Structure 1
């Protein structure tokens, strides 16, 4: 399994994903789940993936083929699409197509597979937008009321986002919020694991301002995790009922 989270704020976007993939307790591997496509100053598109690795890798491979296709146009290439909405439609259609191909092959074994994605970005002259794309290819969008999206093992990291994240949240606080959201998930679910990939995109820059990998044992992440645990215990002790 996995956990990916994206925040859409007035100042920009913050994205965070883990890298653990497992097919049982004795078959655990590390695979990147965050992918960035950018033409700095013109457009930036970030994709985070959860679910069947065969589906997500095939989907991304086909998207890259469309980008490099000499006959590509605004209806087939995410790097030529006129809006982020069109980008989401192209990716959603490709995800649904790949899933249908895989399901057809699995049908004889009475098995199925699925995957979902978070797509976030901005095109010059357009607004920042963020979408959650379902296995069927349809999608929902982050809004003013709910300025974040999650895929994978989202339940453990959701409470802190509900409590602290608003559209006006600063990028510095947003970075802290997604890391604490991930920390809660890491503590509660063994199918999510280090290292982590984090990206920060500032409004109207149309490029990734910060892209960082956080390895297991990272001292800053460990210190933040310990400080959060102490703060929670102290708050618990102070509450009376």
Structure 2
């Protein structure tokens, strides 16, 4: 399992992912799930969740096409819009999933090759855009009504973002919000784990504004984690007390 989240803001896009991959409690490893492609007129970041062999095949093929784009088509460096980038990635993901399912046909109890990808970025002269791509190759786009996407283990961190998100929030507050969302997920599910990767894409800046790997001993993240726990306990104790003997319950 994994947890990746991408959030669209007025100023740009903020993305965060964990790095844990596992096939059981005795087989846990670290693998980067966030990849950034940078060109003169564009910056594109992708986060992956699902079968590791499938997602690695998709990213590797994209990277191979980009090495000599004049000889390898299609390449995301030549796509005229982010919509076309998302469509290209979706087609590739669908093809890889189908190929692996066909190669495993007839084998019972084999691995599932499904995967999902979040694609974010901007091409010069256009708006920053954020997409979530499904294993079938179809996708949806973020908007002011649906400003963030999650893949992987989504349920624990989602309520945090729903309550704390603001379209006009600063990048720094957005990263802090995603840290709280990630911390809640880490506390609830052992299949999501440190370190974390963060990328911030600022509007009209065609390179990452901020990239960082957050380790388990990171002082700021640990302060966020302990502070959030204390804040929740304080908020809980500040709520009105419940009584078995209040006036409404008396006959």
2:126 and 2:215 map into 1 onto residues whose CA distance is 34
* Larger radius of gyration between Structure 1 and Structure 2: 2
**Equivalent in the alignment of 1:83:** 81
1:190 and 1:105 map into 2 onto residues whose CA distance is 31
With the length of structure 2 as denominator, give the TM-score of the two structures: 0.92
**Equivalent in the alignment of 2:94:** 96
Matched, 1:109 2:107: yes
* Contact 1:147–1:166 (Cα < 8 Å) also in 2: no
| 1:28-80 C-alpha deviation (Å, 9 max, x unpaired) | 0100000000025x10000000000000000111111222243245xx11111
2:104 and 2:230 map into 1 onto residues whose CA distance is 48
| 1:6-30 C-alpha deviation (Å, 9 max, x unpaired) | 1110011110000000001111010
- Alignment partner of 1:130: what SS? strand
Can you give the 5+ residue segments of structure 1 that lack an aligned partner in the other structure?
none
**Equivalent in the alignment of 1:51:** 50
TM-superposed deviation, 1:170: 1.8
| 1:67-123 C-alpha deviation (Å, 9 max, x unpaired) | 2243245xx111110100000000000000000011011222133320000000000
1:201 and 1:121 map into 2 onto residues whose CA distance is 7
1:107 and 1:189 map into 2 onto residues whose CA distance is 32
**Equivalent in the alignment of 1:65:** 64
- Alignment partner of 2:102: what SS? helix
- Alignment partner of 2:106: what SS? helix
Structure 1 consecutive aligned stretches of length 4 or more whose deviation exceeds 3 Å: none
1:108 and 1:202 map into 2 onto residues whose CA distance is 48
1:213 and 1:231 map into 2 onto residues whose CA distance is 26
**Equivalent in the alignment of 2:163:** 163
Q: What is the number of equivalent residue pairs in this alignment?
A: 238
- After superposition, residues 166-177 of structure 1 pair within 5 angstroms as 166-177=166-177
**Equivalent in the alignment of 2:209:** 209
1:239 and 1:105 map into 2 onto residues whose CA distance is 57
TM-superposed deviation, 1:167: 1.7
2:51 and 2:190 map into 1 onto residues whose CA distance is 17
| 1:147-173 C-alpha deviation (Å, 9 max, x unpaired) | 111000010000011111132222121
Can you give the 5+ residue segments of structure 2 that lack an aligned partner in the other structure?
243-251
1:185 and 1:177 map into 2 onto residues whose CA distance is 13
- After superposition, residues 89-238 of structure 1 pair within 5 angstroms as 89-110=87-108, 111=110, 112-238=112-238
**Equivalent in the alignment of 2:246:** none
